Every structure is written in structure tokens, then in C-alpha cells.
């Protein structure tokens, strides 16, 4: 039997949890893991007792950390508290997965190595699949180093028993075994794709404006300008010692179809571009696919998140100042 893996997460992050489970598929196929989370609860299960039981039987406990996770008393105080206790006792392996930017470095999780590499949140990777692959590889290494017990624990204790209502005595509900893989293929309409496109453009505008302001604040002799041309276009300009050294134009839609284009100057010109991002999807999410036109740019096979697209285009703007 594989290692029992307990996933603690906020329901606000259920979509990201689904994506993680997709990447755990090979570990499941190889019989290395048996994954449990609260969506495997059955009608009639006592919530606190069942969750406590699964936490106490887990060989590996994954904490999917986000602002919502830290804000949840149940996730943070109860599930994280018990996970840390078992990790320190050496009876389970705790692995934190940083999903979204949050103040996790000021928690006791900061004492331990987290995933992905360097604690960079999943949502800030240019390609989310690469982020989850990084996490999966680290989970695999941790599991391969475990000596998984052959028999489950017989006795289980409630977490913070004084704060949790104890189940009434009676026969335990007979749970049927079932898969944790219950996600279905998602369908995306043209409206969904258009909404994603323009939400991404608005995110890019805020990202560039904030980044330009911070670049100027941190570097003496640097001046920047963010200019919103219209609802579908903005330009970014960087000056060094009063001389323009970099510029770019970002545009949504336009004559090149339904996508986002990048032009390596701040002219605001609509009939030319050096890179374009088109909206694509798989069976779970929408993403942005670059043409991969600039030398040294990302692969055209990359599936970029909004954050990943923003970082990619920002790199195109700032690279002349970095000698690349």
C-alpha cells in the first residue's frame, strides 16, 4: 500500500488543489500514494472525527498555503497544528506548498523547507505546470525516503479535543472506498475566453504601472512613465539619466485578432508587434500561449498564467537595462 497523503487546503483554492492532483497521477498509478482530502467525506461522516482520523493516519501531510489558508482557523490552528506536531514527532512528513503570495514566512512553517523551489508561489510561475511538476518531484523524493508502516494506527485522538465536539457513541458509518479523482473536464465558452483576455490585460496594466513606479523608487537616475492610451492599450517607458533606454506597447485585441500583443517601443502603434499571446485552454484552465518570437524568449509551448505573462513581457521591457 502506498503512502497515505492528507491534503489540507482552503476551499477557495479548490481549483489549484485539483491541478495538483492531476500532477500526482503518476504517483497514484505507481501505487506510491493514496490521497485523501475533505471532498472524500461521505454523507453521515462526522466531520471533525473523520478529519482527525485521517490526519493521524497520514504518512505525508500537504499544506496548501494561501491567504485563505492562513485566515482559516480550522486549516491554520487545527490541521496545521496537528501536522507540525506529527512532523516534529517523526510520525509523518509535513510538506508545505505555497499556492499564492501570503505572509507564510512569519509562521512556524518558515522553519522548514517549503515547495515550490525557493518558496515562489505556484501562481507566480510563468508556467503553472512547471511549478506543480517541481512540487510533485519533491513529494516523490520525500515519499521514496519514507518507511511506510504496514498497518494503520488503531487508536486515534481528537485534535484540540476541548474545542471539538465529540461524536455521539454509536456504530461508525460504513464508508465505501472511492477515488479522490472526481474532477470533470471543464468547458470554456467564447465569453469565458474573452473575459480572461481582458482581465489579463487589466492585470498587465496594473502590473506594469506598479513595477515602473517601484523601479524608479529603487534606482537613482531612473525615471519611468506609464501611459494608458485607451481601454485596450498602454505604453511603458524607462529613462536613464534623462535618456530613453527602453519602451514597450501592450495591446489587447486589435487588428491581429483576439490576443495580447507586445511591441518593443512606446509608440502605441497598432499595426505591428514583436510578440503575441493567445488564449488557450486544457481540460481544467485557461492560459496564455506565446508565439515565442523574441530571441531567448519563452517556448511557444509554454502555458502562461496571468502572472507568468506579466513577468515575461516585463522581462522583454527591462532586459536592455540588465545587459541581456
User: What CATH number does residue 132 fall under?
Assistant: 3.40.50.10140
One domain, residues 260 and 111? no
**3-class DSSP state for residue 88?**
helix
Query: What is the mean predicted confidence (pLDDT) over 71-92?
Result: 92
Report d(CA 257, CA 52) in Å as an integer.
53
**3-class DSSP state for residue 51?**
helix
Domain of residue 214, residue span: 190-322
Whether 178 is covered by a domain: the verdict is: no
CB neighbours (10 Å) of residue 102? 17
Q: Which of 144, 163, 182 is the last residue of a domain?
A: 163
Q: How many helices (H) and strands (E) does the chain have?
A: 9, 10
**Which stretch of 111-120, 189-198, 280-289 has the lowest confidence by average pLDDT?**
280-289
Distance of CA 45 to the CA centre of its chain: 30
Give which of 248, 260, 274 is closest to 309, Cα–Cα: 260
Whether 82 is covered by a domain: the verdict is: yes
Give which of 102, 47, 111, 103 is closest to 83, Cα–Cα: 111
Q: What is the 3-state secondary structure (H, E, C) of 301-318?
A: CCCECHHHHHHHHHHHHH
| Phi-psi sector, 291: left (phi>0), alpha (psi -120 to 50), beta | alpha
Confidence of residue 161 (pLDDT cuts 50, 70, 90): very low
Look over the chain and give the mean of its residue pLDDT values, rounded to a whole number.
Answer: 84
Task: Report the percentage of the chain scoring pLDDT > 90.
Answer: 55
One domain, residues 158 and 16? yes
Amino acid at each position: 500500500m502506498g503512502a497515505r497523503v492528507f491534503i489540507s487546503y482552503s476551499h477557495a483554492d479548490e481549483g489549484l488543489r485539483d491541478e495538483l492532483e492531476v500532477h500526482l497521477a503518476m504517483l497514484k498509478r505507481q501505487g506510491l500514494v493514496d490521497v485523501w482530502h475533505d471532498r472524500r467525506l461521505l454523507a453521515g461522516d462526522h466531520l471533525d472525527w473523520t478529519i482527525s482520523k485521517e490526519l493521524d493516519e497520514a504518512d505525508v501531510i500537504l499544506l496548501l498555503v494561501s491567504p485563505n489558508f492562513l485566515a482559516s482557523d480550522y486549516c491554520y490552528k487545527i490541521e496545521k497544528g496537528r501536522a507540525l506536531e506529527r512532523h516534529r514527532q517523526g510520525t509523518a512528513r509535513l510538506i508545505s506548498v505555497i499556492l499564492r503570495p501570503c505572509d507564510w514566512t512569519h509562521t512556524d512553517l518558515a522553519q522548514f523547507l517549503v515547495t515550490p523551489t525557493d518558496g515562489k508561489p505556484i501562481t507566480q510561475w510563468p508556467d503553472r505546470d512547471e511549478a506543480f511538476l517541481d512540487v510533485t518531484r519533491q513529494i516523490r523524493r520525500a515519499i521514496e525516503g519514507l518507511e511506510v508502516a504496514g498497518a494503520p494506527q488503531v487508536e486515534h485522538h481528537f485534535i484540540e479535543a476541548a474545542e471539538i465536539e465529540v461524536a455521539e457513541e454509536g456504530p461508525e458509518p460504513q464508508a465505501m472506498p472511492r477515488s479522490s479523482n472526481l474532477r470533470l473536464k471543464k468547458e470554456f465558452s467564447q465569453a469565458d475566453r474573452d473575459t480572461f483576455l481582458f482581465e489579463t490585460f487589466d492585470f498587465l496594466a496594473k502590473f506594469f504601472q506598479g513595477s515602473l513606479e517601484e523601479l524608479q523608487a529603487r534606482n537613482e537616475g531612473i525615471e519611468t512613465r506609464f501611459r494608458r492610451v485607451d481601454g485596450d492599450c498602454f505604453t511603458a517607458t524607462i529613462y536613464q539619466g534623462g535618456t530613453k533606454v527602453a519602451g514597450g506597447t501592450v495591446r489587447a485585441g486589435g487588428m491581429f485578432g483576439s490576443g495580447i500583443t507586445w511591441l518593443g517601443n512606446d509608440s502605441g502603434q497598432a499595426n505591428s508587434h514583436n510578440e503575441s499571446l493567445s488564449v488557450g485552454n486544457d481540460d481544467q484552465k485557461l492560459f496564455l500561449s506565446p508565439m515565442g518570437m523574441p530571441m531567448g524568449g519563452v517556448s511557444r509551448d509554454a502555458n502562461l498564467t496571468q502572472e507568468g505573462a506579466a513577468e515575461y513581457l516585463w522581462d522583454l521591457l527591462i532586459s536592455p537595462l540588465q545587459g541581456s
